[in-house]
Structure 1
Amino acid sequence: MYKRQGLATAATGTAKPGITNIKSSIYAAFLFSILSQNLVFLKAIQLMKPRLQEKYNWYKLNTTPYFLLDIDERRKELFNLASLLGYSKKGMVYVQRKSGIYESLGNKYQIFSTSAYLKSLQEIKVLDIAEEPKRPTIQGFGKSYIITDEGTYAKGFIAYSFSTAILEGALSIPVFKKVKPEMIEITIKFSIISKERMRNYISSIDSKLMKAGRFGNVIAELEALRAQSATLKKDFDEFGAEPLEFQVFYILHARSPQELEVAAQELIPQLTEAGILVDSPNSRSLQKEIYEFSARFSKRYSSTISIAKLYPLAASNIIEEGGVFLGIDDTGAPIVIDTFSRVNGRSNPHWIISGTTGAGKTTTTALLIDRLKKIYKDNVYIFVIDPLANFNRFFQGDSDVFSIVWEYGQEMGLDPVALAREGGINLGDVTDFLVELYQIPGKLRGLMANYIEKCRSISELLKNVRDDLNELEKQKLRNRNLEDLEAYLLNMTTNPDKLIYYGETPTELLKKRTIILGLKTDDNRHKRLAATLLILLAWAQINKLPREMRKIIIIDEAHLLLIYPSIARIIAQIYKTARNLSTGIITITQLVSDYTKNEYSKDIFQLADTKLILKQEDTAEKDLKELARLSDEEIDYVLKSETGQGILKTGSVKTFIHVLLTEEEKAKWRAGV
């Protein structure tokens, strides 16, 4: 289970009468049996009391990926929940995570959806009213479990003790690894009590402490009471919290008694680690009471602030209409993202995808391409710049894909000056790229930029320089800088690079909706030059397409390019302007550290509103903290992630993710993991 950050220090005291620890002693067990024997009598007394029927309303509550929120967002969530509890006066917070099926593009995935509700005695106008959530009814009993009308086996747990150092968010849904229950229910049943009653309780704690102090007998239990008292006083005096009485229930549902037992064995240690001790009595009558949330024992005193810190609403439900199903979070909830939609705090459709070798970034991108094609059909163009020719292999035989692989020594027809003019790239950025690539002295940079501004191709650039040199020669004049520039240009147009600049680009480029431009070369310098010009080619093609049509440029192995400031600057420029053309840019790198190489690569990271961070190497730890702004526990998660697991941040939403492939996709792309 993902460890919670920070301590809730939820001061919780015992409400009397009641049992505080069913298993702790023979005395507690004796009281428990006495209470059980007198249930009929107590119920009869209750029936004799005339009282008005209480009317409750049910409201839908939003869940949040609480553990991935920053401190300020967490505090806001806690105070909102505390306010709701205080205003409701009496009722319950009910959370249900249930197994289900999510269908996307004809495929079915097992998911676990989380729903949360508030049962309130008071009317709350700021929340949407809801129907009472449906629960399976009791059909019978087994040896230590309930049999429901839905054919599941259920077991109830009730919290009987809370640590003074209880972890924040301790009542969130646990994570099950061995077996996933069909359903888990978490309930906080609460009732606001009078402040006088709470003051008397705190006074009784203080009195016990004073008496124990006289005899030097301040044992651990009393120290716990001292901590509870101090926290409660702070909640009331500083935060204006309301005092309340509460109970916590857990109900597990499984497909068999064996699975139920395995799930219970996973649940109890997780809750204990979080600071909550629970018990599951074998008595049928007590199981029935727990299942129906009607048990009268294990009631505790606390405040609305401290109960809110136990936050049971920590779950993600990210389903954006018309989006791509990517996978599930750590609770099994589906993650469906439409990055072209400006929701959840996004302002652009740009991505970064980062993961070390074997993390699953290539397969995840192939999945993204394939599902985007199926969802948007004729309303999307996808350009893939593939320096290692991975994606060409993935989409072989796909009739909707134009795929080409250039080998070293082939003509490509990629003139940087012509492409920059077509795509609206700053010619100064192209000049810097060529200056850096060919190690042209800085003193010649301005001269070269001046000539590039006046020409439309590399060949015209060389011709103009030569014409001016010939004119100077006629006048018996010399220009050393111009002569040096000509030498560098000759180097550009006579070595093997000239094959990249000369020739014709394929005329079929825009006849297909998915265009994969691959390279096959072991020459890193050739790879760097050709890949950069393929980016310019894709950008030039996008400028020819209707503005409103969705378009995507995917740059694989971008870490090979981002280390060069001039190339990173070109990519950053496209990131900045692409949104206006309904275009998303996706760069794929091995580590988040690849985005720290220069100011432009850092810009690229910040400009991407969607970041998928898969497994990282230990060397990236510092950058995960400082650049990606992950917490220590989030960093630990991505350092230890398995293939396809990581953290997804899209706009204002951050969630754990496990990318899910269909069996067909696994068979098709397994080699690219």
Structure 2
Amino acid sequence: MKQEQQTKKKKIEEKIYELEPGPFELLDDNERDRLENDFQQLLNLVDRGTIIVISKQSEYEYENEKYPIIFNKFLLATTTDLQYNQAKLERPKIAKAHPDYVELENGLLAQSAVFYRFPDIVPEGFLAEYFGLGDIVFKWEALDPVSAASAIDRTRKRLESANSNDSFTIRKMNKVTQLQGIIGGQAKLLRFWTYVTYYGESKAELKDKFNQVRSIAKSRLFDVDIPRFYQGALYNFRVDVDFFMPFYNSIRPHYVDTITASWQFYPLISEDLIDENGIFLGFSDSGSPVLFNPYRRNNYNIIVLGETGSGKSMTSKVFLKRMIEKFGVKIYGIDPENEYVKNAKIFNAEGIIVRKNQLLGLDPFKLYRITTTEGRLLDVDDVAEILSTFYIPQENIALINRLRAYVNDFASESESIFEFVGKIKKSDTELYNYLKGIEAPPDSYVFDGDIPDFQHNIIFGLKEISGYGASRLKALITTLVTIIFQKYAFSDREKGYIFIDEAWLFVKYPITMSLLENLSRRARKYNKGLLFITQRPYDVAATEAGRTILEQSATTILLRQKEASIKTLKEIYNIREEEANSLINAEPGHGILRSGNYLLRIYVQPSREEFELFRTSGEW
């Protein structure tokens, strides 16, 4: 009775904290070491604690399809005050206890299987292999330095007295020697218990769950057992040594130092991405739906990288469509291959296909006169930078400086770019010889005509611009449009995305890349994000602005890659050799998602309707 009162008192004093999990499988050694070091610090700080991984099953429905979800919640019960968010542990109470299981108030049965023998080599983070089968419990108590030293010394003397040269004794002796060197210094000695509590509607279902647990355990050379008569205590996280003495062999504590425990028993593993209020993107490698909410990241920018036919455009279209459905986001787009403009209505946008001889009205001097809450659509420096980049050799600094001075002098009195060029013709023949191309097609078509209405969602399709100088013309249009997009998008704080497909086309134009880099840095402040889609990451990374965009964006989706891209991806995203190489032969829509703390394999899943709307080939 006294012992029960002490246990109740202890439980009242315990607080429940929620721990943050993250991916583990695809991380490189340095990233794993960082996570395990953080966990070791927690073990060194908390002298008595219980980590419980609660598994809950539910369903997610999209487009009349239902997908099963296993959601794991990671909790820590301890009397130590910590800087984690506090939570509640809600479990049904025991209605009736039986020797080898308990009945719960919700009608389910529960049973706990305890790990009681461990192999010499314990797999890193092995507890994650049991996620989804039931609740995982890891309970520990730190021994004080004197008790720890005495326990190690007793073990050493026992092994020495055995006077055995078998490999098992030698390995044990080496372990004891190592422990003597670290206990009391950078590590503590823990006694611990770990077990799985699983549920079922019948004893037959419990037996099936136990067989699954035992099968996994045996494959790793663990032993598990179901301690009889103490199922109620285990369900309530009680593992008092004296209380379990009659069944000591199957329930006795084991010992481990905090350094070893930090990697063997590292539990905070989640290979699934299930964001609150997230959109359905597809499935993780575990078969769980990926629910992604970019607004839970430190910025909302997204990079989609993949070679032709990898599914990058399908992925981007699915993302945009579902973001519109979920959040009503605004959309502004540059579409060099006209893959989005034909679906402009689905994106609540006007699609403008830029054709030969079409007047676009993107006159920088007219745009200079228009103001938004962000200021002028173009300022004097923007106008000068555009003209110098696309019409003056960049090595001719003197001529660029003269052009800047003329723009500054004539901007306010020039009604159009053609009027400005006319003034230059009278003032500076040398400079006019470089600018006179503005007055002739195809450049004149870019500047002539009425300014488009940028106050609603709009997508520019550039595919029909072809022939000599097409890439330069596309870059000129993209530069002007991007500046305008940015000014209108940043004039409010509604959720929105500016996207640019085939972004590698513009790496030769520093002003274009610089604008996109500036947009990516400032977008979050205005509740906007940049969706940057490209098939040649090595070209983009070769520019300072491009590399910044790739490195600083919070979310990256890596689809099938050419072999030439692998080195760049490994440098920028720290993915392992085997994961990088797996991208070379990936199926369309299959790849790796890196977002915040998450790194996982994914498969993007369009609905049947989306596939028919967005496909550019017959396969997916």
Tell whether the structures are fold-level matches, with TM greater than 0.5: yes
Does structure 1 conserve the Cα–Cα contact (< 8 Å) formed by 2:102 and 2:232? no
Match of 1:413 in 2: 361
The aligned residue for residue 186 of structure 1 is: 136
Instruction: Provide, for residues 25-48 of structure 1, a one-character-per-residue CA deviation record: whole Å limited to 9, x for no partner.
Output: xxxxxxxxxxxxxxxxxxxxxx9x
- The answer for the alignment partner of 1:93 in structure 2 is 51
Q: Check conservation: 1:435, 1:441, Cα contact below 8 A.
A: no
* Alignment correspondent of 1:536: 480
Matched length: 584
Describe the superposition over 1:289-341 as per-residue Cα deviations: whole angstroms up to 9, x where unpaired: 998587751642223443333211212676666554444554566655554x5
- The structure 2 residue matched to 1:367, chosen from 310, 318, 324, is 318
Matched, 1:429 2:379: no
Return closer, same or farther for 1:618/1:209 CA change in 2, 3 Å cut-off. farther
3-state secondary structure, aligned to 1:186: strand
**Contact 2:117–2:223 (Cα < 8 Å) also in 1:** no
SS of the aligned residue for 1:625 comes to helix
d(CA) in 1 for partners of 2:3 and 2:97? 32
Identify which of 542, 558, 563 aligns with 1:618.
563
Equivalent AA in structure 1 for residue 304 of structure 2 = I
CA distance in 2, matches of 1:645, 1:286: 49
TM-score between both structures, scaled by the size of structure 2: 0.77
Alpha carbons of structure 1 residues 448 and 594: separation in structure 2 relative to 1, 3 Å: same
Structure 2 match to 1:493: 439
Tell me, in whole angstroms, the C-alpha distance in 1 between the residues paired with 2:421 and 2:316.
40
- Work out whether 1:61 is the aligned partner of 2:18: yes
CA contact (8 A) 2:506 2:513 kept: yes
| Structure 1 residue 246 corresponds to structure 2 residue 193 | yes
- Give secondary structure in 2 for the equivalent of 1:239: coil
Aligned to 2:183: 236
The percentage of counterpart residues that share the same residue type is: 22
Match of 1:308 in 2: 262
Partners of 1:356 and 1:190 lie apart in 2 by 49
Work out whether 1:166 is the aligned partner of 2:166: no
Describe the SS at the equivalent of 2:506. helix
Residue number in structure 1 paired with 2:338: 389
How far apart, CA to CA, are the structure 1 residues paired with 2:142 and 2:614? 57
Q: Structure 1 72/524 Cα, relative in aligned 2: closer, same or farther at 3 Å?
A: farther
Pair 609,524 (structure 1): closer, same or farther in 2 beyond 3 Å: farther
Secondary structure of the residue aligned to 1:426 is helix
User: Using the alignment, how far apart are the partners of 2:98 and 2:608 within structure 1?
Assistant: 39
8 Å CA contact retained: 1:113, 1:334? no
Instruction: Give the whole-Å Cα distance in 2 for the aligned partners of 1:358 and 1:261.
Output: 44
Q: Distance in 2 between matches of 1:356 and 1:375?
A: 29
- TM alignment of 1:560-599, pairs within 5 A: 560-599=505-544
- Of 203, 207, 222, the match for 2:153: 203
Change (3 A) 1:110 1:664: farther
Q: Determine if contact 2:321/2:347 at 8 Å carries over to the other structure.
A: no
Q: Which moved more, 1:233-242 or 1:49-58?
A: 49-58
**Contact preservation (8 Å) 1:111, 1:328:** no
Task: Choose from 461, 470, 473 the match for 1:526.
Answer: 470
Distance in 1 separating the partners of 2:343 and 2:89: 48
The whole-number CA distance in structure 2 between the counterparts of 1:412 and 1:260 is 72
For 2:349, the aligned partner's letter is: V
Matched to 2:386, the amino acid is V
Checking the alignment, whether the CA contact within 8 Å between 2:321 and 2:346 is kept in structure 1 is no
**Corresponding letter in the other structure for 2:484:** A
SS of 1:349's equivalent in the other structure is coil
Residues 185 and 250 in structure 1, CA contact (< 8 A), matched pair in contact too? yes
- Following the alignment from structure 1 to structure 2, what is the Cα–Cα distance between the partners of residues 452 and 629? 45
Q: Kindly tell me: are residues 532 and 496 of structure 1, through their superposed partners in 2, closer, same or farther at Cα, counting changes over 3 Å?
A: closer
Shift in Å, 1:382: 0.8
Change (3 A) 1:360 1:253: farther
The match for 1:30 is none
Counterpart among 343, 354, 373 of residue 305 in structure 2? 354
Hey, what's the Cα distance between the residues in 2 that align with 1:594 and 1:524?
Answer: 22
Report if aligned partners of 2:384, 2:403 keep a CA contact under 8 Å in 1.
no
Where does residue 371 of structure 2 map in the other structure?
Answer: none
Note the alpha carbon deviations across 1:405-457, whole angstroms, 9 max, x for none. Answer: 12344333333565576244733431343047x78856533333333443454
Structure 1 counterpart of 2:88, from 130, 137, 158: 130
Q: Report the alpha carbon displacement of residue 131 of structure 1 after superposing the two structures with TM.
A: 3.2
Q: 1:152 to 1:385 in 2, by over 3 A?
A: farther
Are the aligned partners of 2:94 and 2:103 in contact in 1 as well (CA < 8 Å)?
Answer: no
Match 2:424 to one of 457, 461, 465: 465
Query: 1: CA distance between counterparts of 2:487 and 2:349?
Result: 20
User: Secondary structure of the residue that 1:411 maps to in structure 2?
Assistant: coil
Look up the SS of the partner of 1:277 in the other structure.
coil
Cα distance in structure 1, aligned partners of 2:260 and 2:278: 38
> 1:46-104 CA distances to partner (integer Å, 9 max, x unpaired)?
x9x9775522246243232152583674145313431465233xxx4221333212467
Residue 444 (1) aligns with residue 384 (2): no
Maintained 8 Å contact 1:431/1:452: no
Give SS of 1:96's match.
Answer: strand
